[in-house]
Chain A
Amino acid sequence: MEMARAFETKLSALYKAGKIFGGVFIGRGHEAIAACEGVYLQKGHDVYTPFIREQAGRCAWGDSVLDSAQCYLGSARGIMRGREGNVHWGKPHEGTVATISHLGAAVSVAAGMLMARRMQGKTNFAGVICIGDGTTSVGSTHEACNLIAVEKLPAVIVVTNNQFAYSTPNSQEFACRSLMDRGVGYGMATHECDGTDFLQTLQVMGRAIAAARAGEGPQWVVANTLRMCGHGEHDDAAYIPQELKKQYADRDPLAVARRQVQEQGWLTAEDIATIQAECAEEVQQAMAQAQKEPAPNPATEDWSATSWKPTRY
């Protein structure tokens, strides 16, 4: 969470300085939810489908912020080589999906990754699939969630309800009483947590992921929070009522987590300061490296969209 916040703070500054080509999408308000997903997953064994506000989850999963920095800055040395930007990167061989912009499209892809593991005789694996309140409205999401339930795949669908899909409030996004009802409709076990409460989120995610891993079928987790930033850094989120912002003023998940881990005796204030310094250093190095790396060169680019080519005679 500290790493994600440090990275995204720097990223936002670079965006405002005009150093990023496209949009910048940060996860302020989502950090506890994302981190508590990633921390229970094992890279190379499980499946993880982070999307636009899951930088903390990527860090917890074990990916370096250098990957994110290279992707945002379009480095030719990054895994996407400047061909893709911002959050659209993944390492399928390690279990993450390189998501496309079409919301919900990754849900069935993650299902396929889980299905393959089952067909290959692997055991004790699970997958976390991140969607949001807006993505629950998409047809692809419905098709995939139903399929996951039919196949009883060990998936945990985490619905982060941050109350706004870009500018659209929940009231214009869905009419069911609660997004929990959607999970019931699919026949999944359901869980709900206050995504700004780190300890509660940690416990709920732990239970849900353990249940999926243990063969109890797909789990539906609704994690509630507020998006404490714009949809992207271009967006001032003026459509979020001041009243609502005030309600969440003291619920920044990172501040809550810092307090809770000290209350639990897991870390001291000094430990946290050390972690913050380490994160700042790593972010600084990653951003510096990605900015120094060469940009992709259209003259040497392999302008080929297929790996296989017909033999020419």
Chain B
Amino acid sequence: MSVTYIDAIHQAMAELLAEDEKVFLYGEDIAGKFGGAFKATKGLAEQFPGRVLNAPIAEDAIMGLAIGAALSGMKPIVEMQFADFGTLAQNQLGNNAAAHYYRTGIPVNVTLRMPCGGTPGGGPYHSQSVEALFAHYPGVHVLCPATVADAYYMLKQAVQIPDPVVFMEHKFLYRWLKADTWVDADPLPIGRARIARPGRHATVVAFSAMVPEALKAADELAANSGYSLEVVDLRSVKPLDTDTILASVARTGRLLVVSEDFPWGGVAAEVIARVASQGFHLLDAPPLRVTSKDTPIPYHPNLWKAHRPHSNHIVEAARYLISL
């Protein structure tokens, strides 16, 4: 049997709905037979009548409604049709939901699912990785699963966390990433990064769809040069597991951070800032990052492939880093 990343997300939601009557799903086009733009909720409306609800095209109000429902004892899971449109809900998520616990002592148990990241032909407004925009606000947790099992367990854990959780699910991984099962005998808790591949010569920190790219780069480099890269999958960008990153850098002495997001003020910058300030003495070379380019995301696949970090870019950067 083979299951995909989106199967794992579907399964997690089906179980959450079955296990907890407070859970409901809310978003655009998610109900009925349609089941969402990516079919993540397909069949759930029939299986759970009255608990998978379509919303008008109103991202701000969708998020606001979820906040109000959560404050009244429900556990809404909101599907944003594309993470790019999440900026329209950012005020409600960042200023309202995320600030609520500090202001009032009452956390807002909302989970915001955001189909993010680039796919060929996606263009500027169906491709973005907005995790840094959301992680910027105090009071929110931002998860970026990179494996089938993480997609399943982290979504289930997200709903158990009483605070607002932004669940960044990568559209490229939806049907491309497969595994035998989503079951993991010993799933990691949220807040722990994972050593996706141990290595000796440099640490590559990645998350979301950049984890498979980093693993591919590590394979290529090992095959062609004998250098071994240690790949750290962040899993959550907030909380950020600085301890695991520093421990890895302590072993390798070199750091390369890979992010599909734009370079300015992103997660890669945050990781490098933390390692530089807390682990400067561990570094044998300047920390590097590979990000997408500082332009809007282009439409044509030729341009898009050059804009987005690819395993080739990671290999090239890792070779340079190791040469320093």
Contacts and interface: CB of A to CB of B under 8 A. Distances in A.
Given A102-B95, A143-B58, A306 B101 contact: yes
A139 interface: yes
A148 to B, nearest CB: 9
A143 B58 CA distance: 5
Residue of B50, B68, B100 contacting most chain A CB atoms (<10 Å): B68
Nearest to B103: A84
Nearest to B139: A305
Given A80-B103, A100-B95, A108-B63, A144 B71 contact: no
Contacts of A306: 101, 107, 139-141, 163
Contact of A108 (B60, B139, B236): B60
B102 interface: yes
Residue of A105, A114, A308 contacting most chain B CB atoms (<10 Å): A308
Contact of A112 (B58, B65, B141): B65
A79 B99 CA distance: 15
Nearest to B24: A119
A139 B60 contact: yes
Interface string A110-133: 111111110110000000000000
A140 B95 CA distance: 13
B186 to A, nearest CB: 14
A88 B191 CA distance: 32
B161 interface: yes
A143 B61 contact: yes
B69 A92 contact: no
A192 B243 CA distance: 61
Contacts of B50: 119
Residue of B67, B74, B100, B139 contacting most chain A CB atoms (<10 Å): B67
A294 to B, nearest CB: 17
Given A80-B103, A102-B91, A140-B60, A109 B189 contact: no
Contacts of B91: 102, 105, 140
Given A100-B99, A147-B65, A305 B70 contact: no
Contacts of A313: 192, 243
A310 B190 contact: yes
Interface string B53-83: 0011011111111111111111010000000
Contacts of B63: 108
A116 B72 contact: yes
B92 interface: yes
Contacts of B192: 310, 313
A90 B104 CA distance: 8
B138 interface: yes
Nearest to A306: B163
A110 B190 CA distance: 31
Interface in A44-88: 79-81, 83-84, 88
A107 B96 CA distance: 12
B239 interface: yes
Interface string B226-254: 00000000001001010100000000000
Interface string A257-296: 0000000000000000000000000000000000000000
B162 interface: yes
Contacts of B105: 79, 81
Contacts of B190: 310
Residue of B58, B98, B139, B162 contacting most chain A CB atoms (<10 Å): B58
Contacts of B183: none
B261 to A, nearest CB: 22
Contact of B71 (A84, A109, A146, A310): A109
Contacts of A222: none
A301 to B, nearest CB: 10
A117 B73 CA distance: 9
A166 B103 CA distance: 25
Nearest to A120: B73
A117 B71 CA distance: 11
Nearest to B165: A308
A287 to B, nearest CB: 23
A113 B72 contact: yes
A93 B71 CA distance: 7
Contacts of A35: none
A97 interface: yes
Given A114-B68, A147-B65, A305-B99, 18 more contacts: A84-B104, A92-B71, A108-B60, A109-B67, A109-B68, A111-B68, A112-B64, A112-B70, A112-B76, A143-B60, A143-B61, A305-B138, A308-B161, A308-B162, A308-B163, A310-B236, A310-B239, A313-B192
7 contacts: A79-B104, A102-B95, A111-B64, A113-B72, A116-B72, A306-B101, A308-B141
Interface of A: 79-81, 83-84, 88-90, 92-93, 97-98, 100, 102, 105-117, 119-120, 139-140, 143-144, 146-147, 150, 304-313
Interface of B: 24, 50-51, 55-56, 58-74, 76, 91-92, 95-96, 98-107, 138-141, 161-163, 189-192, 236, 239, 241, 243
Question: Lowest 3 CB-CB distances: which A-B pairs, in order?
Answer: A310-B191, A112-B68, A108-B64
